[in-house]
Amino acid sequence: MKETRTPWLNNYGDIPAHLDYYKGSMFELVKEIAEKYPDYTAYDFMGKQTSYKEFIQNVEACAKALKARGVREGDKITICLPNCPQGVVMFYAVNLVGGIANMIHPLSSEKEIEFYLNDSKSLYAITLDQFYGKFAAIRDNVKLNDLIIARVYDELSQPLKLGYALTTGRKIPKIPKDAPIIKWNDFIKGGSTFTGSYKADKKDTDPAVILYSGGTTGINKGILLSNLNFNALAAQIIATNPIFRAGDKMLAAMPIFHGFGLGVSIHSMLANGGRCILVPRFTPESYAKLIIKCQCNFIAGVPTLFEALLRQNCMEGADLSCLKGVFSGGDSLSIELKKKFDKFLYDHNSAIQIREGYGTTECVTASCLTPLHMAKEGSIGQPFPDTYYTIVDPGSINEVDYGTDGEICISGPTVMMEYVNHPEETAATLRVHEDGRTWVHTGDLGYMDEDGFVYFKQRIKRVIITSGYNVYPSQLENVLDAHELVQMSCIIGVPDTLKIQKVKAFVMLKPGVEPSVENKKILLDYCRKNIARYAMPYDIEFRESLPKTLVGKVAYRQLEEEELGKLAVKN
């Protein structure tokens, strides 16, 4: 059997190459930590603090409520929430009763929500009152036993409730009194008299979470992840950050429905006694103010966020000596932006530099990080303990030499169980190499140097990265092509200084349909109803025909080059 190359181990310093991983569930791990630090704050939400002891009590009350509503082991519960207490409590309660948490974006379109519910076979769902209308619109097309409605208002401190009710609260449409829902507070009360068993006996290897991603084909698929996947990540995050201490504060602005937010900013903190500053919705300005106000120790975000922080007036003169770690992921951090942000940190009394990482949802999130004690320009760092990287010839399992471009492959304890309902793509993505290990073929191009530092080049698969979100052109083209006015469409990413890329649509209308301002408005309105906000095209350009390759495919690269040419002329 061929031996796996591990040149990065020479640079690990005090970080152990191998770790011991918790054998139980995510909830059990967090509960053990809560027993160790009962009075520490588990999370802050809009200034309201909840201790670990209170947090565990809330999770157990929610678990009883789930059992009272008939939830069984293995049931799928869709959590369609931003970073709010109900989302965190529900996530661990589902884990406690042995269910599987299906995490989805609350800004998803009606059709996307319908797909996620049906694809995961969810029997229960929870969302905020402001998103009720989307669920109501597709309720007849899904098989939900219960729809639970939570409110941000219920989790606010008393001084903030009045202000919220008079501003944001007033804009939320009233839910009809006869709506087939159960309100969060009534849901929790319903479990208060439950006397049966509510704790499932689950192992580390049992399935626990579904996160959605496009995989290697760009078609949305549920990625099934185990307790071990998340608990291993929590151990690796702390091992690669020995500066962490229980009670340290993480600004949890990355979303709970994303591996980065859920795995790094929330579970890795709660599984180690950290304190999550839950941010349900933020702007760069509010993010900057929270860093200062809360004196955060750790922050994580996408490159566009760090670029925006450089332009916030409120950061002028701020003291950032509280920071122990600043992590960038979700997209490539340019060398120039890293230099600017490192100087920004230095100028604001911070002794650290930004550390770039890399990962995929197929491995929960990050599996590679720039070490504390050394960095190489342009590198995304080195693999976590017990995690292995190799570079292969695309389309094969043949390892290439150091310094040679190839497909990035990852193996380790955070590797997913499968793509839900997609056995063929699971087999294509999870492949056993000559060393006997199972490897995730990421579809990303990069190389490794002789010191084990990894360098990301570009995505082999066609994907647009906008503000840290993956947007898959084929999905959007399917939506547009389904409209009665459209003959054919093509979606591309256009470089953007803030978002990295923004989405543009090219549309060839059906014969007899004329390009017009009115038709563009019709199509944009249609897109808003069927496409998530972050994936919305900023423009639709009508074309009499779309360029083709020799084999008859739409030549999207030609359109990309045309847009780059326009930008070059403009600049």
State the amino acid at position 228 in one-letter form: L
Give the pLDDT confidence score for residue 284 in this predicted structure: 85
Mean pLDDT of 468-488: 86
Which of 187, 208, 202, 188 is CA-nearest to residue 77?
208
Give the pLDDT confidence score for residue 551 in this predicted structure: 46
The torsion defined by the Cα of 438, 442, 447 and 448, in degrees rounded to 10, comes to: -40
Mean pLDDT of 486-506: 90
Mean pLDDT of 507-529: 94
Residue 404 has pLDDT above 80, yes or no: yes
Residue 485 has pLDDT above 50, yes or no: yes
Residue 170 CB coordination number (10 Å): 8
Mean pLDDT of 407-426: 97
Residue 466 has pLDDT above 80, yes or no: yes
What is the value of pTM for the model shown?
0.86
**Contact in structure between 445 and 216 (CB atoms under 8 Å):** no
Does residue 87 or residue 158 have the better pLDDT? 87
Which of 465, 509, 472, 473 is CA-nearest to residue 491?
473
The full set of domains in the chain, from first to last, is 7-15+379-459 (2.30.38.10), 29-40+48-202 (3.40.50.980), 464-570 (3.30.300.30)
pLDDT tens digits, residue range 297-311?
Answer: 999 988 878 888 888
DSSP 174: P
DSSP 141: G
Mean pLDDT of 549-564: 77
Residue 537 has pLDDT above 80, yes or no: yes
Mean pLDDT of 468-487: 86
**Contact in structure between 120 and 77 (CB atoms under 8 Å):** no
Which of 52, 88, 20, 36 is CA-nearest to residue 235?
20
| CA distances for 204 relative to 99, 213, 228, 231, 385, angstroms | 14, 23, 5, 8, 18
Q: 40, exposed or middle or buried, with CB in 10 Å at 0-12, 13-18, 19+?
A: middle
Q: Which of 167-176, 357-366, 519-528 has the lowest mean pLDDT?
A: 167-176
Give the pLDDT confidence score for residue 281 in this predicted structure: 85
275-278/249-252 β-pairing: parallel
Number of H helices, E strands in the chain: 18, 27
| CA distances for 266 relative to 108, 192, 271, angstroms | 22, 27, 8
Mean pLDDT of 188-207: 95
486-496/500-509 β-pairing: antiparallel
In the block, which residue shows the tokens 């200034």? 47
pLDDT tens digits, residue range 123-138?
Answer: 999 999 999 999 999 9
Give the pLDDT confidence score for residue 409 in this predicted structure: 98
Tokens of 189: 């009360």
Which of 333, 408, 346 is CA-nearest to residue 377?
333
Give the pLDDT confidence score for residue 465 in this predicted structure: 85
**Contact in structure between 125 and 135 (CB atoms under 8 Å):** yes
Distance CA 274, CA 496 (A): 35
Distance CA 511, CA 499 (A): 35
